[in-house]
Amino acid sequence: MESDNKAARPVETLKQAIIRFAGDSGDGMQITGSQFTNTSAVFGNDLATFPDYPAEIRAPAGTIPGVSGFQVRFSSFDIHTPGDRPDVLVAMNPAALKVNIKDLKPNGIVIVNTDNFGKQDLVKAKYEVNPLEDSTLDGFRVVRVPLNMLTKETLKDSGLDPKVVMRCKNFFALGIVYWLFQRPMETTVDYLNLEFGKNKKRPEIAEANIAAMKAGYNFADISGLFQVSYEVPRAKLTPGTYRNIQGNMAVGLGLLAASKLCGLPLFLGSYPITPASDILHQLSAYKNHGVITFQAEDEIAAICASIGASYAGNFAVTTTSGPGMALKSEALNLAIMTELPLVVVNVQRGGPSTGLPTKTEQSDLLQMMFGRNGDSPVPIIAASTSSDAFDCAIEASRLALKYMTPVILLTDGYIANGAEPWRLPKISDLPKIEVRQLESKDKEWYQPYLRDQHTLARPWAIPGTDLLQHRIGGLEKEDVTGNVSYDPANHQRMTNLRHEKVAGIAKDLPPFQLVQGQKGDQILVLGWGSTRGAITAAVESLREEGKSVAQAHLRYINPFSPALKEVLESFEHVLIPEMNMGQLAFLIQGKFAMKVHSYTKVTGLPFTTNEVIDKVHEILG
Amino acid sequence: MSTESTTNLTKKDFKSNQDVRWCPGCGDYAILNAVQGAMAKLGKKREDVVFVSGIGCSSRFPYYMETYGFHSIHGRAPAIASGVKIANPKLDVWVITGDGDAMSIGGNHFIHALRRRINLKILMFNNRIYGLTKGQYSPTSELGKVTKSTPMGSLDTPFNPIHLALAAKASFVGRSVDMMGSHLEDVIMKAAAHEGSAYIEIFQNCNIFNDGAWKHITDRTVRDDMLIDLRHGEKLIFGKDHDKAIVLDGFDPKVVNVADVDEKDIPVWDVEANSTFAYLLAGNPEGKLPTPIGVFRDVKRPAFDVGVHDQIARARQKYGEGDLEQLLYAGDLWEVK
């Protein structure tokens, strides 16, 4: 029966599609989007996602601040961003429609839940006239579905509470979209059986959601809602084993990997903060890997406990976001002064102050560089995609342990929550991290600040080691002995040494490479962090147009790669797009005394590809 | 608790090679001496002991101990020490702090370290003044205190540190006096034997900025009548001639002559009892009671740091030693050929 219907309607092949699921924050849009993402990942598409949810746990139902969205782009070719404008919008209520309809592509499909367009619903969304009845949706393909009624009807014999039944309507909607894109439903069926059936011992909930999803699929098939359905074939990705990964998860896995690679137990001191808390949750579940997680009383205690654990010989980490970084800055300086290894993860969000907790921004860069008293250099690494965060976490750990220094790892809300396919590394390919903790026999030469001649790292002697008892602290240290010293010449020398140690890391960095183009192109688009996808897509497109455009993307912000200056100077123009008011541009200009084009955006949303393309056109004239 | 030495180290072995730089006459010298003495008597191995301090005069302490030491930042010593202890529960971790460091800037860490029952020994030197910054009033300064920052007298009610520690659920709460060396050493040794969060308030004199802070109760001439030593299993009797006692009149502790009461009405001090009585005694309403020193509370509770490692052991038992490869190659995987 099903196949007959399918045969009756044409299937159109697309190279890519962008879907945005939008509803009230209680409508389960994040889970719906995640399910579509996983299904597409397992199917073999390349993909990118952008979850966009409100800061309030539950803003008043049906209102504009309560709208939660999840955009997924999937394709048969290599993509770098979740896309600028959706082809399909699923709007569960008028507020979701109002917030999102302006982004939908012309002639795009909008699936609306007509059951939620009552008078009260319209008032909550501040619609004076029902948008389903005026010209609001002209120019779009509108698919009207009475989702509440259909879900209720589907589950009328389930014996479930009507409230529970209503919570299945997102899966009815998912079923419709699955049919529209000819996706298999197994991944979601398995997920529901595991999550509700096995883990939560509520098999009836799993059954109800599965029934709703299948009913949605069949309804789309039989009812002729759509003229055609679509398929997006598999992408040609590099061979390997893949999984879908979000940035926070990648950071957690990277830190755990680093702990295994250096052979020291991982200690995480943290305090809950959006959007970094997931890393704390994740690592808390890795107890059988020997991971210690400590939820401290505040941000300061979180980093201080980590510093204590580092002093005691653990591989120590603290995770936070911007406001937490502000609180940690004094303690971070203690780690700089005592030269203890520590990884500090800052999942950036919109600032200043509490700012936009759930929105993305790159505006902590200068805070990380300079936001401490005194001359206090700290290495900074920035992840550029969700999967890159895994490698960056290992790299930050390697540098911290090798150079005996705190290292800041920057990600942001977009990387933290966005997902992409990740080609899994072979464990044996991961770089070993050499660590030396001294033994009693080192007593002969041991001095707390006697540095390694190459790295300038001080030796790591941990409590419990006989004969190496020593005292450290935040007061200036005498060179070599580590005793308290107020000697002016010594302070100059120690300040120089701290500076040289961090600057010297530049020698340890991989060779600098352009992502696209070559030296001497007319313009270089230089980025850092999560703007990578948008910049890559923009530069690809500009080069296809025949423009002389190159791309570079910085992982190492402090110190910069030694080759950076010369590379930048080979271009007539350097354009730096960033989600702040021009912080990397400020650093580059200050450091290299060169003029750059700064392109900034702080709307809480990532750059779109077209924004970058338009900017390059503007500069090149 | 065994006080028998397991090492041959003497008090001198716990002195570091650094010159002690407190003002001549400072109460801190006596405390340093008592701690070094206790360490030797306890048979501590120097390499297993870590002293962590914050900022203030007292916080210079770790430099003078031939153990591991960390002179950290203002108020944060309990948080740093927590990390040390959780990372390696075999270490013997001591926090040295003052009334400004622990009660003011570090108040939050102080109460949380205590309520968590992390196996830390927190020694708070209380001189009721900021010494290192040269004489401002502190959170334990008496109301109306005239200092450089309060020329017309302070306006805020001071903390009662014992109340704070009891309310924060410290499992050991004690108090002693800088110049009462053997008493101090005894309380320190009892704290050392305690499994859990231990807090000792030490009345300390700052002879430069707040000289005589405790003289009215600790001076040799008045001490016997102004202090009462709380000793587990002993009656609440005090006074030079052991002729005075504290009895409870409802919720009101009051001083009586031993001769005037039936001896069985004099309470026997119990460090494991409900802490309400300790709270009442520490309150010293309107100076009517002698000031209690000794041990207010010493109860057995599972220590946090032990619990952390216990959970790790249980997780390993239940799920086996974690395997990174298994963790990476988990969830919905797909192969691209």
Of the three residues A170, A200, A231, the one that is the final residue of a domain is A231
Closest CB to A300 among B50, B71, B79: B79
- What total of structural domains would you count in chain A? 4
Is A238 a domain residue? no
Identify the CA nearest to B85 among candidates A298, A299, A305: A305
> Region A249-275: what's the mean pLDDT?
98
Query: What confidence score (pLDDT) does residue A606 get?
Result: 87
Query: ipTM score here?
Result: 0.97
User: Are residues A247 and A227 part of one domain?
Assistant: no
pLDDT in tens, A25-36: 889 999 999 999
Which tens digit of pLDDT belongs to each residue from A504-542? 999 999 999 999 999 999 999 999 999 999 999 999 999
Burial code (b: 16+ CB inside 10 Å, e: under 16) for B226-236 equals bbbbbeeeebb
Same domain, A314 and A379: yes
Gap from B84 CA to chain A (nearest CA, Å): 4
Identify the band that residue A5 occupies on the pLDDT scale cut at 50, 70 and 90.
Answer: very low
> Does B45 contact A at CB distance below 8 Å?
yes
**Chain A CB within 8 Å of residue B205 CB:** no
**Do the domain assignments include residue A98?**
yes
> Looking at the structure, do residues A560 and A466 belong to the same domain, yes or no?
no
A313 touches chain B (CB under 8 A): yes
| CA A395 to chain CA mean position, Å | 17
Cβ of B312 and A287 within 8 Å?
yes
Query: What contacts B213, CB < 8 A, 6 or more positions away?
Result: B127, B128, B129, B203, B204, B205, B206
Q: pTM of the entire structure?
A: 0.91
Instruction: Please answer yes or no on whether A311 and B83 come within 8 Å at the CB atom.
Output: yes
User: Strand runs (DSSP E) across chain B, as ranges?
Assistant: 49-53, 68-71, 92-98, 120-126, 129-130, 136-137, 172-177, 198-203, 227-230, 237-238, 244-249, 252-257, 291-298, 333-336
Nearest CB to A306 within list B62, B83, B91: B83
**Sequence letter at residue A152:** K
Six token digits for residue A167: 């919570």
Helix, strand, or coil here: B160? coil
A292 to chain B, any CB pair closer than 8 A? The answer is yes
Residues A576-596: tens digit of each pLDDT: 999 999 999 999 999 999 999
**Residue of A452, A459, A453 lying closest to A437 (CA atoms):** A459
Of A316 and B334, the one with more pLDDT: A316
Given CB atoms, is A428 within the 8 Å cutoff of chain B?
Answer: no
Confidence of residue B180 (pLDDT cuts 50, 70, 90): very high
For residue A277, being part of any structural domain is answered with yes
Residue B151 in this model has a pLDDT that exceeds 70: yes
Tell me if B80 and A242 make a contact (CB, 8 A cut-off): no
Asked whether residue A564 is domain-assigned, the answer is yes
**B45, B62, B73 ranked by CB distance to A330: nearest:** B73
Range B130-152 burial, b when 16+ CB lie within 10 A, else e: bbbeeebbbbbbeeebebeeeee
Across chain A, mean pLDDT equals 95
What pLDDT, on a 0 to 100 scale, did the predictor assign at position A59?
79
Residue at token pair 């052979």: A263
pLDDT reported for residue B282: 95
Among partner residues A306, A334, A423, which is closest to B73 by beta-carbon distance?
A334
Q: Which residue in the set B50, B329, B334 is minimally distant from A463, CB to CB?
A: B50
Q: Is B44 on the interface with A (CB under 8 A)?
A: no
A435 in any annotated domain: no
Of residues B3 and A554, the one with the higher pLDDT is A554
Q: With an 8 Å Cβ cutoff, are A242 and B83 in contact?
A: no
Kindly identify which residue of chain B lies nearest to residue A425, measuring between CA atoms.
B328
High-pLDDT (> 90) share of chain B, %: 92
Q: Chain A interface, mutation test: which of B36, B49, B76, most A Cβ atoms within 10 Å? A: B76
Q: In this structure, what CATH number is given to the domain that contains residue A125?
A: 3.40.920.10
pLDDT tens figures, A79-137: 999 998 999 999 999 999 999 999 999 999 999 999 999 999 999 999 999 999 999 99
Same domain, yes or no, for A424 and A457? no
Task: Write down the residue that tokens 């206790």 correspond to.
Answer: B38
**What is the pLDDT confidence band of residue A8, given thresholds at 50, 70 and 90?**
low
B116 pLDDT more than 50: yes
Kindly report the number of other CB atoms within 10 A of residue A285's CB atom. 14
Residue of chain B whose alpha carbon sits nearest to that of A485: B18
3-class DSSP state for residue A565?
helix
Residues 272-331 on B with a CB inside 8 Å of A are 308, 311-312, 314-316, 318-322, 324-325, 327-331
H or E element that contains A568: helix A564-569
Spell out which residues of chain A touch residue B83, defining contact as CB-CB under 8 Å: 267, 269, 294, 304-312, 316
Which CA distances in Å does A193 have to A196, A380, B260? 6, 43, 77
Residues A304 and A354 in one domain: yes
Partner residue opposite A469 with nearest CB, options B66, B320, B336: B66
- Evaluate if residue B15 carries a pLDDT over 50: yes
A49 is written with which tokens?
A: 């996602």
Interface of A with B in 322-341 (CB under 8 A): 330-331, 334, 338
Q: Which of B110, B127, B218, B210 is nearest to B170 (CA)?
A: B110
Partner A contacted by B228 (CB < 8 A): no
Answer whether B89 touches A (CB < 8 Å). no
Determine the distance from the C-alpha atom of residue A65 to the mean position of all C-alpha atoms in its chain, rounded to a whole number: 23
Residue numbers of the domain that contains A599:
523-620
Confidence of residue B45 (pLDDT cuts 50, 70, 90): very high
DSSP A194: I
Tell me the chain B residues in contact with residue A423 when contact means C-beta distances shorter than 8 Å: 336
pLDDT at A454: 97
Cβ within 8 Å, pair B71-A471: yes
Looking at residue A348, its pLDDT comes to 98
Closest CA to A241 of B114, B332, B305: B332
Mark whether A146 and A7 lie in a shared domain.
yes
* Residue B2 pLDDT > 50: no
Confidence (pLDDT) at A26 = 87
Q: Is residue B233 less than 8 Å (CB to CB) from chain A? A: no
Predicted local distance difference test score (pLDDT) of residue B6: 66
Q: Which of A311, A329, A424, A470 is most worth mutating to test chain B (most B CB atoms within 10 A of its CB)? A: A311
Q: In angstroms, rounded to a whole number, what is the distance separating the alpha carbons of residues B2 and B147?
A: 45
What is the predicted pLDDT for the residue at B112? 98
Report the CATH number that the domain containing residue A533 is assigned in CATH. Answer: 3.40.50.920
Sign of the Cα torsion A516, A518, A520, A526 reads: positive
Instruction: Kindly tell me if the per-residue pLDDT of B4 is higher than 60.
Output: no
CB-based contact A325:A368 (threshold 8 Å): yes
What are the tokens at A475? 């007061």
Q: Based on the number of CB atoms within 10 Å of its own CB, is B321 exposed (0-12), middle (13-18) or buried (19 or more)?
A: exposed
- Please indicate whether, in this complex, the C-beta atoms of A239 and B316 are within 8 angstroms of each other: no
End-of-domain residue from the set A196, A231, A266 = A231
Which of A469, A470, A477, A485 would you mutate first to test chain B, the one with the most B CBs within 10 A? A469
The enclosing domain of A381 has a CATH number of 3.40.50.970
Same domain, A452 and A594: no
Is the Cβ of B188 closer than 8 Å to some Cβ of chain A?
A: no
Positions of E strands within A349-405: 380-382
The answer to whether the Cβ–Cβ distance between B84 and A308 falls below 8 Å is yes
Domain final position from A429, A462, A495: A429
Does the distance separating the beta carbons of B79 and A474 come in below 8 Å?
A: no
Beta strand extents in B139-188 (DSSP E only): 172-177
DSSP 8-class letter at B101 = I
- Banded pLDDT at B332 (limits 50, 70, 90): confident
Q: Would you place residue A4 in the very low, low, confident or very high pLDDT band (cuts 50, 70, 90)?
A: very low
Number of residue pairs across A and B with CB atoms under 8 Å?
208
All domains in chain B, ordered by first residue: 1-213+302-337 (3.40.50.970), 229-290 (no CATH)
Q: What residue in A sits closest to B313 (Cα-Cα)?
A: A288
Q: Is B225 exposed, middle or buried (0-12, 13-18, 19+ CB in 10 A)?
A: middle
Interface mutation target, options A191, A299, A304, chain B, most CBs of B under 10 Å: A304
A20 beta partners: A71, A89
Residue B284 has pLDDT above 80, yes or no: no
- The single-letter DSSP state of residue B210 is B
Same-domain pairing of A327 and A466: no
Cβ within 8 Å of B, A 175-214: 187
**Residue A389 confidence (pLDDT) above 50:** yes
What pLDDT score was predicted for residue B3?
A: 43
Whether A346 and A409 have beta carbons less than 8 Å apart is answered as yes
Record: contact B83-A466, CB cut-off 8 A: no
Q: How far apart are CA A593 and CA A312, in angstroms?
A: 43
Does the CB of B72 have a partner CB in chain A at under 8 Å? yes
A49 shares its domain with A139: yes
Nearest residue in chain B measured CA to CA from A240: B336
How near does any CA of chain A get to the CA of B45, in Å?
Answer: 8
For residue A6, pLDDT beyond 80: no
* pLDDT in the model for residue B333: 87
Hey, is B176 helix, strand or coil?
A: strand
Both tokens of residue A255?
Answer: 């830190």
Contact flag B91-A238 (C-beta cutoff 8 Å) = no
Contact A238 B87 (CB under 8 A): no
Query: Does residue A7 surpass a pLDDT of 50?
Result: no
How much is the pLDDT for A224? 87
Residues A448 and A549 in one domain: no
Residue A563 CB coordination number (10 Å) = 13
Q: What is the mean pLDDT of residues A213-226?
A: 94
Residue A501 near residue A403 (C-beta atoms within 8 A): yes
Check whether residue A493 and residue A406 sit in a common domain: no
Sheet holding A556-558, edge to edge: A292-295, A266-270, A315-320, A342-348, A406-412, A380-382, A556-558
Distances (CA, A) of A531 to A385, A575, B86: 9, 13, 39
Q: Residues A257, A193: one domain?
A: no
Residue among B311, B320, B332 minimizing CB distance to A38: B332
**Minimal C-alpha gap between A302 and chain B (Å):** 8
> If you measure CA to CA, which chain B residue comes closest to A428?
B325
Query: Chain B contacts of A271, Cβ < 8 Å?
Result: none
Decide if A469 touches B, using CB distance below 8 A: yes
Which amino acid is present at B86? Answer: I
Residue A236 lies in a domain: no
Q: Mean pLDDT score of chain B, rounded to an integer? A: 95
Decide if A181 contacts A18 (C-beta within 8 A): no
Q: Chain B within 8 Å of A311 (Cβ-Cβ)?
A: yes
